[in-house]
Amino acid sequence: MSQVEAVRTSPLGRLWMNRNLRFACLTLPGAIFILLFLVAPLMSIVVFSFWRTESYNLIAEWNLDNYRVLLSDPTYLTFLWRSTVMAVAVSLISLVYAYPVAYLIAKHGGRYRLILVLLTAAPFLTGIILRVTAIQHILGPIGLINMALTTFGMEPVEVLMYSNVASAIGLVYLWAPFMVLAIYLSLLNFNFELLEVAKVCGARPWRAFVEVTWPLNWMGTAIGIVLVFVPTLASSVTPRFLGGVDGALYGTILAHQFGATGTWALGSAMGVILFALSLIVILGIWRAVNLRRSGFTGEEA
Amino acid sequence: MAAVNPGERLLIVGQSVMLLLLYIFLYFPIFYVVYLSFMENNVWPFPPEFTLDHYALLESMSDFHEGLINSTLIGLGTGALSALFACLAVVGLLKYRSRFRAALIVLYMSPLFVAHILIGISTLMFNRGVLDMPGNIPSTILANTTYGVAFAFLVILAQLLRYDWRLDEAAMVFGARPARTFWEVTLPNTWPALLGAFLVSFILAFNNLDISFYNLGAIPTLPTIAWGTLRHGVKPELYALASIVNALVFLILITLYFLLRTGLVKLGHRD
């Protein structure tokens, strides 16, 4: 410190030379912002979930009714179960499809790597609603596939019109790019020469993948899985427009509490359950990430 | 590179086919909507009959201009705030060692793992119940900035990992004050990263549905207009709206890509 004070003698300059203070000035504004505008609101719905609503107004009377309704009424549990199954299915489909694609780009993309991977991510930026509109015009009753079939005198494919399959295709369409991106970023830092070593040691390609590539890239893969799982579990717009009458998912019902019915407290409780479930999945996957085997050295910066 | 054996070549061919199919899956629906926007008949537009009527309809829609202005405001506010917070954080985290570093990185990335509908409803409830503030454009900007910071953070971090901080130290050694170092050394070398972060969070907030819808209620944005139109059965002007927004997004991305590719903007020091 003494050496530094000789350089900057003004009080302000002295403050500036304090490294901890500079670190705090730079990193804290955003951190405080996230705590105030993301974490605090999420905490507030936990509080509201123990209140009740009367004719569109929240009333601060502590009770457990919302949770009792949600956990005893089979409808809500059914929707939660359906959403969970959908999220697992969509994550698995995305994973199985994205891995080979990300692998190809990372290993053989050469100087076109960046543009190849950005091309998979770019549609994400056009927003959920326009992407749902787009996929609906391929799958739906007046979608390209079924219109083509009927025009040429064939039976339309029922399963593409307003079904859970259509919702699943739509959700893969929305979120699979995240999986490609996450796995790609992980493989980018993966040393492919390790595979040559495995080969020299006599491992067949599949064994080398299972014992080298997969565990060493599990961290990036896990992030990809979570990035697909979380928004799928909460999806409300996609099932509404692709799933039809019977295709409603948990998110659709959750959205309903804040729209037509105006049952804020019940909706908050639904939100808390959704958040808790996502958190359990994230923590579960995080525990499965073996940091040592993932090649994580803590020196990524 | 080692010699490629037949098995490996087959694998590469297979993966290339999968990649090609993925591009078709991702882009065909988008181009089909653009195609529909120019078609007289939107249900079975073959053979094509061109028309610009849908774009004229969009122009005459009462809330289209208001929605466009609101979406742009939300995008600009979110983009600017996100890029600012993220830039400060990345500079701090890359330049200084601290035991809070890992925790801060997790915090900055955490919004990526919260579903948008949860951000939407929780900020709505927080504003109503705690702050007693009605939903408006500023509150929507703040709500969108949560995940905007996370995306901006990733973009800036990816770019600045390669930045050579010795450039700053060199400037300081030659007697430049911190502010002057920032304006004359740091900023000129890092602005593409900042611009990229701004544009990504701008586009995301511009197109956001869940968060903007819950915060704004009846105030229109382009995505909420599109959502309303879709709810009442598809109207042809929706194709025009979708085409315009898609074209804008891709134009911005292509510009950004070429800015980064051509020597026009170069990032700091590279080996």
Q: Is the dihedral of CA B140, B146, B149, B154 positive or negative?
A: negative
Say what angle helices A264-288 and A250-257 make with each other, to 10 degrees.
Answer: 140
Query: What is the 8-class DSSP label of residue B3?
Result: P
The total domain count for chain B is: 2
Q: Do B168 and B234 sit in the same domain of this protein?
A: yes
What's the whole-number average pLDDT of chain B?
Answer: 87
Comparing CA positions, the residue from A130, A128, A137 lying closest to residue A235 is A128
Domain tally, chain A:
2
State the complex-level ipTM: 0.89
Q: Which of A113, A115, A94, A93 is nearest to A105 (CA)?
A: A113
Clarify whether residues B22 and B121 are in a common domain: no
Q: How confident is the model at residue A155 (pLDDT cuts 50, 70, 90)?
A: confident
Q: Are residues A36 and A139 in the same domain?
A: no
B64-102 burial, b for 16+ CB within 10 Å, e for fewer? Answer: beebbebbebbbebbbbbbbbbbbbbbbbbbbeeeeebe
Q: In which domain, by residue range, is B24 found?
A: 1-51
Residue A170 contacts residue A275 (beta carbons within 8 Å): no
Least Cα distance to B137 among B81, B85, B72, B84 occurs for: B72
Q: Could you tell me if B182 and B254 lie in one domain?
A: yes
Average pLDDT over residues A261-276: 92
Candidates A8, A14, A17, A27, partner chain B, best to mutate (most B CBs within 10 A): A27
**What does the alpha-carbon distance between residue B130 and residue B144 come to, in Å, rounded to a whole number?**
19
B26 and A177: CB-CB below 8 Å?
A: yes
Question: Which residue in A100, A133, A177 is closest to B238 by CB distance?
Answer: A133
Q: How confident is the model at residue B3 (pLDDT cuts 50, 70, 90)?
A: low
Same domain for B17 and B115: no
Of A173, A196, A267, the CB nearest to B25: A173
The whole-angstrom separation of Cα B249 and Cα A285 is 34
Interface test with B, best of A52, A130, A197 (most B CBs within 10 A): A130
Q: What is the mean pLDDT of residues A94-109?
A: 96
Q: In this structure, is residue B249 part of a structural domain?
A: yes
A134 and A281, same domain (yes or no): yes
Average pLDDT across chain A, whole number: 88
Residue among B19, B99, B177 with most chain A CBs within 10 A, to mutate: B19
| 3-state secondary structure labels for all residues of chain A | CHHHHHHCCCHHHHHHCCHHHHHHHHHHHHHHHHHHHHHHHHHHHHHHCCCEEECCEEECCCCCHHHHHHHHCHHHHHHHHHHHHHHHHHHHHHHHHHHHHHHHHHHHCHHHHHHHHHHHHHHHHHCHHHHHHHHHHHHCCCCHHHHHHHHCCCCCCHHHCCCHHHHHHHHHHHHHHHHHHHHHHHHHCCCCHHHHHHHHCCCCHHHHHHHHHHHHCHHHHHHHHHHHHHHHHCCCHHHHHHHCHHHCCHHHHHHHHCCCCCCHHHHHHHHHHHHHHHHHHHHHHHHHCCCCCCCCCCCCC
Same domain, A110 and A191: yes
Using CB atoms, which residue from B22, B214, B230 is nearest to A241? B230
Q: Work out the pLDDT band at A22, boundaries 50, 70, 90.
A: confident
Average confidence (pLDDT) over B147-176: 87
Find out whether A99 and A181 touch, Cβ atoms under 8 Å: no
pLDDT tens for each residue of A64-87: 999 999 999 999 999 999 999 999
Q: Contact A76/A70 with Cβ under 8 angstroms?
A: yes
pLDDT computed for residue A10 by the predictor:
65
Across the interface, do A127 and B223 touch by the CB < 8 Å criterion? yes
For residue B235, give the DSSP letter: -
Contact B108 A30 (CB under 8 A): yes
Range of the domain at A110: 63-288
In a domain, A128, yes or no: yes
Helix and strand element counts for chain B (H, E): 12, 0
Q: What is the pLDDT of residues B92-135, one digit of tens each?
A: 999 888 889 999 999 999 999 999 999 999 999 999 888 888 88
- Does residue B47 have a cis bond before it (omega within 30 degrees)? yes
Does residue A227 sit in the same domain as residue A116?
yes
Within a domain: A216: yes
Those residues whose C-beta lies under 8 Å from the C-beta of residue A142, and which sit 6 or more positions away, are: B43, B234
pLDDT at B1 over 60: no
> Tokens at residue A282, please?
């994230």
Q: Does the CB of A268 have a partner CB in chain B at under 8 Å?
A: yes
- Give me the residues paired with residue A58 across strands: A53
CA distance A159 to A157: 6
Residues A7 and A138 in one domain: no
pLDDT band with cut points at 50, 70 and 90 for residue A8:
low
Residue B271 lies in a domain: no
Closest A-chain CA to B115? A231
Whether residue A57 has pLDDT greater than 50? yes
The answer as to whether A148 is a domain residue is yes
CATH code, domain with A177: 1.10.3720.10
Neighbours of A109 (CB within 10 A): 18
Contact B114 A135 (CB under 8 A): no
A12 touches chain B (CB under 8 A): no
SS3 B200: helix
Find all residues with CB under 8 Å of B1, minimum gap 6, and list them: none
Residues across chain A: 301
Judged against a pLDDT cut of 90, whether residue A287 lies above it is answered with no
Residues A176 and A35 in one domain: no
DSSP B26-70: HHHHHHHHHHHHTBS-SSS--S--B--HHHHHHHH-TTHHHHHHH
Residue B69 within a domain:
yes
pLDDT at B171 over 60: yes
Are B143 and A37 spatial neighbours (Cβ–Cβ below 8 Å)? yes
In a domain, B45, yes or no: yes
Mean pLDDT for B38-49 is 83
Q: Is residue B137 part of a domain?
A: yes
Residues B4 and B108 in one domain: no
Q: Is residue B225 part of a domain?
A: yes
Please, which residues bridge with residue B102 across strands? none
Are A189 and A140 within one domain? yes
Question: Comparing C-alpha atoms, which of A96, A183, A170, A179 is closest to residue A139?
Answer: A170
**A149 plus A120 within the same structural domain:** yes
Within a domain: residue B119?
Answer: yes
Is residue B18 located within the same domain as residue B84? no
The answer to whether residue B26 is domain-embedded is yes
Regarding whether A250 and A205 lie in a shared domain, the answer is: yes
Residue A40 identity (one-letter amino acid): A
Statement to judge: residues B132 and B22 lie in one domain: no
Assign A161 a pLDDT band (cuts: 50, 70, 90).
Answer: confident
Whether residue A130 sits in one domain with residue A13: no
Instruction: Output the domain CATH number for residue B73.
Output: 1.10.3720.10
Query: Domain check: are A31 and A171 in the same one?
Result: no
Q: Does B40 lie in the same domain as B80?
A: no
Does A72 share its domain with A154? yes
Say yes or no to pLDDT of A2 above 70. no
Distance CA A103, CA A109 (A): 9
B47 and B59 inside one domain? no
Q: Which residues pair with A54 in a beta bridge?
A: A57
Same domain, B106 and B165: yes
